[in-house]
Structures are given as C-alpha cells and as structure tokens.
A = this chain, B = another copy of it.
Amino acid sequence: MSQTVDRALSILPLLAEGPADLGQVADRLGVHKSTALRLLRTLHEHGLVYRQSDQRYRLGARLFALAQEAMENLDVREIAHPHLVRLNESCGHTVHLAVYEENEVLYIDKVDSRYPVRMYSRIGKPVAITVAAVAKLLLADLPEHERRAVAEKLDYPAYTARSTPDATAFLRELEKVRQQGWATDLGGHEESINCVAAPIRGADGRVVAAMSVSAPNVVVTADELLTLLPLVRRTADAISGEYSGRTPSKGTV
C-alpha cells in the first residue's frame, strides 16, 4: 500500500537469509543504489538493521527486543508460564505453548525437558503446522471455511512416513481433533518424537492457545506418553480458567 515502506520492509526478510551489501540489496529490491541506501539508513536508525565491520548489513538488535516485548505482552503466555513449569516439574518432559496467527502457528513459550535428550525447537519459531499436535488444535478451532482455506493453501512436507500427507487427510484429522478436544503427534515430525496436546480456551470457548508435552521414544513410549493426557488436559483447563477469569494483571482488555 505504501511503496516506500513496502520496499524498506522487503529488506528485512532479505537480510534474514544472511548479510548483504548495498549493491545486493539494491539489486534484489530492483531500485537504485541510492534509494536502497536511504532505506537501509532509515532501518538502521531504528536499529532494525546493523552494519557490520565489513560494511555489509545484517538484521539488528532492536528486532530481538521488539519480538521480546511483543511476546511479553501476550497475557496467555504470562498466565500459562507457571503452569507449564509445574507440569514440567511433575513429568520432566519438554512443554510447549503455541498460538495461531495468520496462517502460522508459533511457539511462544517452552520449558525444556529435564532429560538429557533435548528436542530442537525455539520460541518464536514457526511450527511444522501440518503435523504438530498444537497446530492441529489451533486450526481445528477455526471456522469451517477458514480451516478449509488454510488446509488447502498449505504444503504437506513428508517429514516422516507418518506425516500428514495432504489436505484431505489433514481436514479429517482436524475434525477428529475438534471433537475429541485433544491432539497428538506420533512421530509425524521427527520419527522418534511424540507429543500430546490440549487446548487453552478463552471465556467465549474459542481456542486461544495450545500446549503440549513432547518426549522422544528413547525416554518414554507413545503409550506411556498418552497416560499423561489427563494431566495435560487438567493443566490446560487450569490455564483456561485463569485466562478467562481475567486476572487483574495487565490493563489490556
């Protein structure tokens, strides 16, 4: 909508791939070097872009700080955190909290496993949306048509033999998840990792976030992990209660 801003913002994903010099940026934007320079300077002033010693540009520190602050303003996260920690203490496994936002599901909190085998994931990282248990819960709650639209837009990477193969299978799975009120991912993302997840609901009953417990086969079998389901659901319900009860923490409506 605004050309200048549009161009400037296009620089960010470009730099996310790795550092680039003025010429490269200008080329990839399709603008004159002087234009690119001015845009970069503006981004720089706002700290979104950093100029390293070899004069090339990189994404800047303010970006982290912003993402950080944004995260801390999410009240679900704040409320959920102590519950997640407690759950982790009682079962020892990795606990995740995720939300859905415009075709993406992302982790907004994580408590690491207390077993030596850790799984790779990072707060802020988009989730493997077609297979993750939390993603299924979040998408399952979308209105029918939107769910359908999203499902058909997605790619279905075959991470493992058990990954969701296509939109039809995914929609079927979502329907099942919606009815049973919980979800699993049994080796659909990483062959040896299983997850059990439960939804966190707002006052109106809509799913605002989802949480999961994940553990590799070498620690517990899928069946053993499933015995945790009641505990996971209870935790999620406790968070839902507190969240919809609107604890007087932040003044945001």
Residues of chain A having any CB pair with chain B under 8 Å: 1-2, 4-6, 8-10, 12-13, 15-19, 38-39, 41-43, 45-48, 50, 54, 58-61, 63-71, 73, 89, 101-102, 104, 106, 112, 114, 116, 122-126, 250, 252-253
Q: Which 4 pairs show the lowest CB-CB distances between chains A and B?
A: A64-B124, A59-B70, A67-B67, A16-B69
Contact B9 A48, beta carbon cutoff 8 Å: yes
Tallying the copies of this chain within the complex gives 2
- What are 12 A-B pairs at a CB distance below 8 A? A1-B42, A2-B38, A2-B41, A9-B48, A16-B65, A50-B102, A59-B69, A61-B101, A63-B63, A65-B125, A68-B122, A68-B125
Give min CB distance, A70 to chain B, whole Å.
Answer: 4
Contact A102 B5, beta carbon cutoff 8 Å: no
Give min CB distance, A253 to chain B, whole Å.
Answer: 7
Closest to A51 in B: B102
Contact B126 A65, beta carbon cutoff 8 Å: yes
Closest to A114 in B: B114
> Which B residues are in CB contact (< 8 Å) with A71?
64
Closest to A12 in B: B66
Give min CB distance, A207 to chain B, whole Å.
Answer: 13
Give min CB distance, A97 to chain B, whole Å.
Answer: 13
> Which B residues are in CB contact (< 8 Å) with A6?
42, 45-46
> How far apart are the CA atoms of A48 and B2 in the complex, in Å?
14
> Which B residues are in CB contact (< 8 Å) with A45?
1, 6
Contact A54 B253, beta carbon cutoff 8 Å: yes
Give min CB distance, A68 to chain B, whole Å.
Answer: 5
Give min CB distance, A146 to chain B, whole Å.
Answer: 13
Known: A67-B68, A67-B124. 7 other contacts (CB 8 A): A2-B4, A5-B43, A64-B70, A65-B124, A65-B125, A89-B116, A112-B112
